[in-house]
Chains A and B, each alone.
Chain A
Amino acid sequence: MKIVLSLNDQKRLYDYIDMGIDTFVLGGKYSFHCPYVFSLDEIASLTQKYPQCIFYVAVNALYDQHDIKDVEDYIKALSQMNIHGLLFQDYGVLQIVKDYQYHFDMMYSPETLNTNACTLNVLKSQGVTSAFLSRVIPLQEQLAICHDVKMPLMLQAHGVEYIAASKRELLSNYQAASGLSFQNNGIDHLTLKAKNSDYLLRIFEDEKGTHIFSDARLYTLDLLNQIHEFDYLYIETLMMNNEEAIEIASLYSDALKSYKQGTYDRDIKEYMDLLYRLKTPLDRGFLFDQTVYKLEDMRKMDNEKRESNR
């Protein structure tokens, strides 16, 4: 079990290394969403300067046909650096890596699709070498998958949760239709709330389209006893400022050390107090919840909701 962190600021890399974190996901030109977009030069420089670190690059968008040649060139450039692996969701990326026989750890990270063990074992036979589990399944199912899949698995330990992405410019379109004024730049100004819901969403637009995340941060700091069998615990620093990212990395890093030293059960209360002091919204996501999909179950849930609202 080791921490993997999406690198939000290269100036802070040494702080993370100092905490004992050595594995990082770098955002780049072809990342779907990331806390910072590193240029190829920056990636090359990082890999040369920190040879002791393990770097993944997120090549994790869905790519249009007219972009695929550029993606191919980009992957070729990465293959000439000390990059350990790629996070991807478009099977086109996997096919490119197979065609050129690049030696990346190919971590399949489709956000929403890694929901059972059998499928992941099939994908292993197709060239996937590690996988990032979906967040929309309960912890019990994630653990069952962990037992049955024969390749390294990553679980999101902390941070905002991906919810949806559109190729369209949904905020610009709304601005044009409504004539309303708002800050449609940057990733952390805008939130959404459905008229019939209290659930707060983060929304932002960039050149790849529109992205929706949870406002609350998924947290598992107090669950290390249950999730210790996963190979990687991922900290998503998207929408965190530097201070929060450092604090969270430090907390999980310390908790992991406590776990390995056998003092975790004693120390966790203190870690949780520190987490609460950050005053960021926290959530368990689907770890202890589940979704329904059969008509009778959906009706039952709707009836229960109606009853509870009376």
Chain B
Amino acid sequence: MAPSVLATTSADLGMGNQRQRIIDAMIDSCAEKTYAATTITDIVSRARISRTTFYKQFDDKRACFDAAVGHCIEQLQGVAAAAHDREDTPADAVRKGTAAVIQALAERPGLAQLLTGDAIAVDPRVIECYRKATIPPLEGLWSRGEGEAQAYSDPRLAFGKAQVLILNQIAIGKAERLPELLPELVYLAVSPFGGHEAALHQSQLATEGTAADVAAGER
């Protein structure tokens, strides 16, 4: 019967919305006062839900935090993938993906704070999750599906370097100015498989013309 189907659907949607509101509240609270200082009370008051509702969705603060980290990684993967297409060279694709991710982080600094600061503090092994989410796609871009890509330097380390730079920018309180770091971050993203020269070249392209990428995206 149609009405009951509708009812079920909206109830499901309600659950999904609540879960998302809780995750958003966790991200915002961590951005404001760090994970260590965030309490369940902070989260439920920000999300405008009851404690009971919180505990229906998550076992505890840590479980909620892990879900928030997973959500952020997924969002950014989507942003990076949508920023380039098959016709781009590997180096161009990496530059465009990096620029899009940094733009997304600048628009919502809480995400950057969560991923580069709090997530590492809560469990340093989280950096392995980031690597699993990024290095295989990167390698795939460079090898074009033909065997292994040659590495100039350790791509795992490049990730740590980027994390430290972003964390520092946020610690200074300039999260909205993250795009100023774009030349360095593009350099880091390209250099493991592209080498120093290609990385510098892409870094210069990023400096000169995010404008060109924006125009290409609007086409």
Do A and B assemble together? no
